[in-house]
Amino acid sequence: MPAKAKLFIALAIIPGLVMLSLGVSHWESADPVRFTIYLLLALVASTLKVRLPGITGSVSLNFLFILIGVAQLSFPETLALGAVATVMQCVWKSGTRPCIPQVMFNVSALTMAITTAHFMYHLPQIQQVDGRMPVLLALAACFFFLTNTVLVASVLSLVETRPFMRVWHQCYYWSFPYYLIGVGVASLVSYSSQYVGWRTALLILPIMYLIHLHHRLSVERHTAEDRIKQ
């Protein structure tokens, strides 16, 4: 691994783990049962991965529960959920066994992404302008997506010695539409929970599973077509 890549990973891991430690140390949970169920569902969602063409990386359904967590859970709960789900995504049926620095980097990157998303969602100035949940969650998701993909694309470009914009475009092209649909589903779940309760609102989630299957089949078809062309 190039020295620049090692330095970047180290510089990302340190603030990420500090944020995670400080956030979780101020633990608060208004509904431990809801947090536990969301965490278990996020772990299951982490096993539903789609490997992105052209880059070493994958996207899983756990981002859906992170967005729901930003809207419904406390900041420490969302950080804990995201960290545990990320570890599961890294180790579950991975082609090669991930090393500890790789897992730590992914956890740190997601921690920083959650921090920016949570900050934007709960920013008073924005809530005063437009306090509607779908708008706030869409804004939070954009910052979550940008923070996470920029960090991941940066380290991949350094490790694979490829132009950053080319790597980031691969992340953007295959995952951004997936995120947009996820924002809609997360907004629907969070909004519905205010009226029918969070347990009943979870019945909406199978919609996202069907979207995941469609996205996975689209990526697999694209990959197969590229192999045929080659």
| Number of domains into which the chain is organized | 1
pLDDT score of 179: 83
Q: What is the CATH number of the domain that holds 210?
A: 1.10.1760.20
> What pTM was estimated for this model as a whole?
0.89
- Tell me which residue range forms the domain holding 99: 3-229
Residue 230, pLDDT above cutoff 60? no
- Between CA 130 and CA 138 the distance in angstroms is 12
Angle, CA of 43, 64 and 189, to the nearest 5°: 115
Residue 208, pLDDT above cutoff 90? no
- The residues, any chain, with a CB within 8 Å of residue 19's CB and separated by 6 or more, are 79, 108, 111, 112, 115
Sorting pLDDT into bands at 50, 70 and 90, what band is 56? low
**53 versus 175: which is more confidently predicted?**
175
Helix axes 164-196, 133-159, angle to 10 degrees: 150
Averaged over 80-104, what is the pLDDT?
88
In the chain, how long is the greatest CA-to-CA distance?
A: 55
pLDDT score of 68: 93
pLDDT score of 49: 86
Residue 95, pLDDT above cutoff 80? no
Residue 107, pLDDT above cutoff 60? yes
**195 versus 227: which is more confidently predicted?**
195
Q: Range with the lowest mean pLDDT among 14-18, 56-60, 118-122, 190-194? A: 56-60
Residue 226, pLDDT above cutoff 80? no
E strand or H helix that includes residue 59: strand 58-60
Could you read off the pLDDT of 171-193 as tens digits, one per residue? Answer: 777 778 888 888 889 989 988 99
Q: Average per-residue pLDDT in the chain?
A: 87
- Between CA 227 and CA 41 the distance in angstroms is 35
| Percent with pLDDT over 70 in the chain | 92
